[in-house]
A and B are shown apart, each in its own frame.
Chain A
Amino acid sequence: MTRAASRNSSAPAIEPRAFIILIAVCVALLFAIAANAHEIGKTQVQASLRDGAYQIDVVVDPDALLPTLEAYAAGPISRDLPRDERDRRIAALSQVFLERVRVSFDGRQAASVFEYLPSSAFNDFAQAPSKVRLRGTVPEGASGFAFTYGLALGTYALNLRIGDGPVQTQWVVGGATSDPVALAAPLPPPTRAEIGRQYFVLGFTHILPHGFDHVLFVVGIFLLTSKWRSIVAQVSTFTVAHSITLALTMYGIVSLPAKVVEPMIALSIAYVAIENLVVSELKPWRLALVFSFGLLHGMGFAGVLRDLGLPRPAFLTALVTFNVGVEAGQLSVIAIAFAACAYWQHRDRLAYRRFIVVPASLVIALTGLFWTVQRALA
């Protein structure tokens, strides 16, 4: 018998995520140890509901099934019977089986037809399991299915398939009734196009309206110069860089803790804004810096994406469309900034720099520095 105990602590009313997880892990671990666990047994139930009928195959160990049925029949317990005789007696105890094993729809027990398929029907191995097959009709208008297997002194897996839907598995304790299952087939999994659309929107909304820090970074890039070529060069460099780290991080090739990434992103915002105050043309080092900052932002995007979760069957689709959504969000920021400033960019460049670039960059720089400190201390 295994033993352990709980570890508990008086957690504050609002905890950071890491602390909450830490506490939960401790508690989970310690109770896992104390769980007085049992091994999973040999009994399995495969249920299929289709076209108004059900078929339930209970896979059992016949050497255990016979004494169990005999015990519940309140008769003498057989010992060491030949296989044929054992199987004959199991089949003869069908009524006991049907009393202890119930198929119900909307809480009402259904009348099942019992059929015993001994292991010899499948192969000649002495230890091979047998099957008991229950068949019947799903009542008209039934909406919920439940199953009770009152012959197990342990846990068994109930695998249920409704129509062409996916297999649903429940772990049920012998004697207990399974959780009711809705008879409407579960919704089909989303298509690739639906996943793509969903992750595109997630990527876009991560920039607009949720990504204030990324917006400020992009505005910082925009403010350096009014030359389109320079803006495009910077945005393209940033895009390539963050796409690289987003993919590498999501595939688990590189990793940096959020504790490091977050303040660095904030610092990158401050840097581009401060540089806007001292230079007014695109310099080569600026592109190199934007590239390295892009690498950091990519890890930030990966953090979001990891938290949102990527659907395993469409991992690449979700990754790519999320990235495209991020790009669309960034281009929208540029477009809005351009619409707001285009008049002054072309009419009076000096006034544009004096009254727009300098004060806006100053505010962005201060904000970036504030976030840097705030995130470093968080």
Chain B
Amino acid sequence: MRRFFTPSTIVPVAIIAAVAAMVAVANLRSRASRASYGRQANWRPLGTRGAGTGRADLGRRIAELRTAVTKRPEDVGAAVMLADALVRQTRITGNAGLAIEAEGVLKRALANDVSNYDANRALGGLLLSQHRFREAVTVGERNRDARPYDAINYGVIGDGYLELGDYDKAFEAFDTMMSLRPSAAAYARVAYARELQGNLTGAIESMKLAVDATPPDDPEALAWHRAQVGDLYLRLGRMHEAESEYIAASHAFPGHPFAMVGYARLLTARGEPGSALALLQELATTAPTPDLAARIGDLLAQLGRRDEAERQYALAEAGWRSDAPEPKNLARFLADHDRKIPEAVTIAVEASAQRHDIFTADALAWAYFKAGRIALARQAIAQALRTGSTDADIRAHARAIEAAAGQAAVR
């Protein structure tokens, strides 16, 4: 025994024991050890368990992620999560600046890792949200070339083409997306494609599948999908179903602007403009937009409160000119309310040069119509009708333009 405890045995045994202990500790802490080459993310994605999308959850999440990203601007994982949360917040509050903040966060992360796929993919979505459709398509196609089996890229490409009015390419991208991976995102896009083609029943079916595919931990998404289903029912005149969907949306996410605006439209259609007005005025205190001011103006006009309506129209026009520039909407608003028609035509022509979607074409047609330029209005409305959409405004405009064209022919 004494021979065993000599320095020549103690030292190697101690070293071996030390190495063995290190190995044991290393493997017990294998996650921490591997973190050397990829820090473990502590952030769950929004809409999963423990990371809900309720109003308070989102605010808290954004504050935490801002702190994390400030400390480590190159942490792509945190940057992507922050971008996600900011975009959600944009939808609820209408604060477009948050999308700009999200873009800045992603671009800082990309500065040190230009080819990072996750950040580039998130950037594609952000560009869409900022109406930079051509850039979004470019980024989406680059990402698709990098990973051709990632369904999301086809969603970005399709959305970009859709907004630019290239519907064939958009629908083709959505088909590919659906074939690669059916999901809530894919179902919702199919629903919109069907709606654009006038198939409202089919659109409702798809949008309901999107609702079913949305997890309960994502109340914000659930509310959005429900509100979309409500809008589709409303267009079909199925008031009761539409009301159920709006109520379900508000239950999932109280005060969701899409549900509130939809419900106000339903109340108006039902002959309750006073209730609709109260609802929109409440929404305008937290998320004012020109569109909301215009809707409030229309309701006030319907209630015979002309002066108040004019003031809301003034706010809407000023808002679209200054605070939330949206040329297509401004042109349409001016034409709808017989204000500054020559300017409405100019604005709509400029908007049409940039985008070829059916709603921009409709705004142009309506501005031409109000300007008395019926031949040009017919050309434009033909573009607006090219997908077969049953949008009530487009159809009404088409009827008015055709009637005017008929009278002109008779004269």
Contacts and interface: CB of A to CB of B under 8 A. Distances in A.
B218 A154 contact: no
A28 to B, nearest CB: 3
Interface string B3-41: 000011101101110011011011000101111111111
A74 B184 CA distance: 46
A153 B288 contact: yes
B125 A24 contact: no
Contacts of B155: 4, 29-30, 33
Residue in B163, B288, B310 with the greatest tally of chain A CB atoms within 10 Å:
B288
Interface size for chain B: under 10, 10 to 19, 20 to 34, or 35 or more residues?
Answer: 35 or more
Contact of A156 (B43, B130, B323): B323
A39 B185 contact: no
B322 A7 contact: no
Nearest to B311: A71
A5 B225 CA distance: 7
Nearest to B312: A71
Interface in B253-301: 258, 285-290, 292-293
Given A152-B323, A355-B8, A303 B152 contact: no
Interface stretch (B86-94, B368-376, B396-404): B86-94
Interface stretch (A91-99, A114-122, A138-146, A304-312): A304-312
Contacts of B124: 29
Contacts, number: 362
Nearest to A255: B115
Contacts of B95: 155, 171-173, 176
Contacts of B171: none
Interface in B116-172: 118, 121-122, 124-126, 128-131, 152, 155-156, 159, 162-163
Nearest to A179: B63
Nearest to A344: B11
Nearest to B257: A36
B113 A306 contact: yes
A23 interface: yes
A136 interface: no
A24 B38 contact: no
Contacts of A312: 73, 111
A350 B348 CA distance: 91
Residue in B12, B221, B322 with the greatest tally of chain A CB atoms within 10 Å:
B322
A123 interface: no
B111 A20 contact: no
B315 interface: yes
A288 interface: no
B289 A64 contact: no
B245 interface: no
B75 A307 contact: yes
Nearest to A3: B192
Interface residues of A, number: 101
B321 A64 contact: yes
Nearest to B316: A153
Contact of A24 (B75, B81, B189): B81
A37 B130 contact: yes
B22 A37 contact: no
Interface stretch (A49-57, A210-218, A240-248): A210-218
A197 B101 CA distance: 31
A11 B152 contact: no
A84 to B, nearest CB: 20
Interface in B169-223: 183-189, 192, 207, 210, 213-215, 218, 221
A338 interface: no
Interface stretch (B45-53, B235-243, B378-386): B45-53
Contact of B38 (A71, A212, A307): A307
A186 to B, nearest CB: 11
A215 B22 contact: yes
Contacts of A213: 26, 33, 36
Interface stretch (A103-111, A225-233, A277-285, A357-365): A357-365
Contact of B12 (A23, A173, A210, A360): A360
Given A25-B152, A61-B321, A307-B39, A359 B112 contact: no
Contacts of B316: 153
Contacts of B72: 307-309
A128 interface: no
A351 B13 CA distance: 13
Given A5-B187, A20-B77, A35 B192 contact: no
B164 to A, nearest CB: 11
A163 interface: no
A25 B83 CA distance: 9
B388 interface: no
A155 B96 contact: yes
A137 interface: no
Contact of A70 (B7, B83, B314, B359): B314
Contacts of A307: 35, 38-39, 72, 74-75
B85 to A, nearest CB: 8
Given A4-B155, A309-B73, A30 B125 contact: yes
B125 A28 contact: yes
B129 to A, nearest CB: 4
Contacts of B326: 38-39
B324 interface: yes
A351 B8 contact: yes
Contacts of B19: 216, 219, 360, 363-364, 367
B44 interface: yes
B362 interface: no
B248 interface: no
A304 B189 contact: no
Given A33-B128, A309-B73, A355-B11, A262 B322 contact: no
B87 A35 contact: yes
Closest 3 CB pairs of A and B: A171-B97, A5-B188, A154-B323
5 contacts: A6-B188, A27-B47, A41-B325, A250-B112, A348-B8
Given A153-B315, A172-B95, A310-B74, 9 more contacts: A1-B359, A17-B77, A29-B124, A31-B88, A33-B156, A38-B326, A173-B93, A307-B74, A360-B15
